[in-house]
């Protein structure tokens, strides 16, 4: 199938079950699972044509980092899967679908949606700050007038 690479497997992880790898292949054939060299976890990565030279990768990445290991397979990191994952839980595929820009209308649409939510959150926060400052100013003015009269 090609969507699981056993690599060094320092932690002797059993690997995902076949039914899950089949489901992953059906979901997106560019996704690959590789056991981490650093932790007792799996790295989910995507096949991509890397445009970096070995010198840049070696300079930019640690000698034994998972990112460098994935780059050696022409993979880009997507997420981490715990070694104790419940492989029959569909949540991972729901989360992957929520993160896949091509499933959400393309990268530009996803960026616009995220930036729109961020703008809305900032405006909401500014309205709350303005309301709090207005109330504080009113209370301060009222207190000042009371002190002025006495």
Give the helix/strand (H/E) hosting 63.
none
On whether both 27 and 76 belong to a single domain, the answer is yes
Please report the pLDDT score of residue 68 as a whole number: 82
Q: What is the pLDDT of residues 93-129, one digit of tens each?
A: 999 988 888 888 888 998 999 999 999 999 999 999 9
Whether the model clears a pTM of 0.85, i.e. scores above it, the answer is no
On whether both 118 and 135 belong to a single domain, the answer is yes
On whether both 44 and 65 belong to a single domain, the answer is yes
Tell me if 142 is assigned to some domain: yes
Please report the pLDDT score of residue 37 as a whole number: 92
Range of the domain at 61: 18-99
Handedness of CA 91, 95, 98, 101 (dihedral sign): negative
């Amino acid at each position: 199938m090609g969507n699981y690479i056993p690599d060094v497997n320092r932690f002797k992880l059993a690997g995902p079950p076949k039914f899950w790898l089949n489901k992953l292949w059906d979901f997106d054939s560019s996704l690959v699972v590789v056991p981490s060299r650093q932790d007792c976890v799996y790295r989910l990565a995507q096949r991509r044509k890397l445009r970096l030279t070995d010198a840049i990768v070696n300079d930019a990445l640690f000698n034994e980092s998972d990112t460098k290991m994935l780059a050696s397979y022409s993979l880009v990191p997507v997420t981490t899967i715990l070694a104790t994952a419940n492989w029959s839980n569909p949540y991972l595929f729901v989360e992957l679908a929520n993160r896949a820009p091509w499933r959400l209308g393309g990268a530009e649409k996803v960026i616009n949606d995220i930036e729109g939510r961020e703008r809305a959150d900032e405006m909401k926060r500014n309205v709350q700050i303005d309301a709090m400052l207005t109330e504080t100013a009113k209370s301060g003015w009222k207190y000042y007038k009371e002190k002025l009269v006495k």
